[in-house]
Amino acid sequence: MTILKLGMLVTRKHSRRLARSFIGKGGERANIWTLVRECAVCQTTKHETVKSAGLLQLLSIPHSPLLDIVMDFIGLPHSNGFSIILSMIDRLTKFAHFFSLSHPSTAVKVAQTFFLGVFKLHGMPKSIVFDKDPIAQPITHNLIGKLRA
């Protein structure tokens, strides 16, 4: 169990150890939060607020062109009714297709763009890797189902 107070992360075991170490006037135990508040090191040190990302998952090396692609959404300022560029890049040759889309874009619209711009020319890729950006998150879950259908 942890205690989060004043921007400090202290375990209960750690707080008991601190309380035993510092005894105030008249034998009273020192207030840990007062010690933390007055400690210069504690005030200048930040604790991690998010979980560590973990190990990267390596992608397999593609063996032939246009079978493994990467799709990414690039947000841009609004221009002529479009505000997103959908990039589809072959992982082996780095051959790229770029398509302009309006925001918010639906999975159906992205699937139509994929079929007209990539599938029609090169066929269905073996794997598609998506980026985990905020534009792509709502679309990619639905898009995978649309592409499989």
Mean pLDDT lowest for which of 47-51, 58-62, 92-96? 47-51
Query: According to the model, what pLDDT value does residue 10 have?
Result: 56
Mean residue pLDDT of the chain comes to: 76
Query: According to the model, what pLDDT value does residue 6 have?
Result: 47
Mean pLDDT lowest for which of 36-40, 62-66, 88-92? 36-40
In the chain, CATH 3.30.420.10 covers 68-148
* Helix/strand number for the chain, H first, E second: 6, 6
Backbone angles phi, psi at 76, to 5 degrees: -130, 170
Most confident of 15-19, 104-108, 123-127: 123-127
Query: According to the model, what pLDDT value does residue 1 have?
Result: 40
Please say if the pLDDT value at position 25 is more than 70. Answer: no
- DSSP class per residue in 84-130: EEEEEEETTT--EEEEEE-SSPPHHHHHHHHIIIIIHHH---SEEEE
Fold for domain 68-148?
Nucleotidyltransferase; domain 5 (3.30.420)
Residues 6+ apart with CB under 8 A from 105: 73, 84, 86, 139
Which one is predicted more confidently, 4 or 92? 92
Mean pLDDT confidence for 137-147: 66
What are the distances in angstroms from CA 68 to CA 89, 107, 136? 9, 20, 18
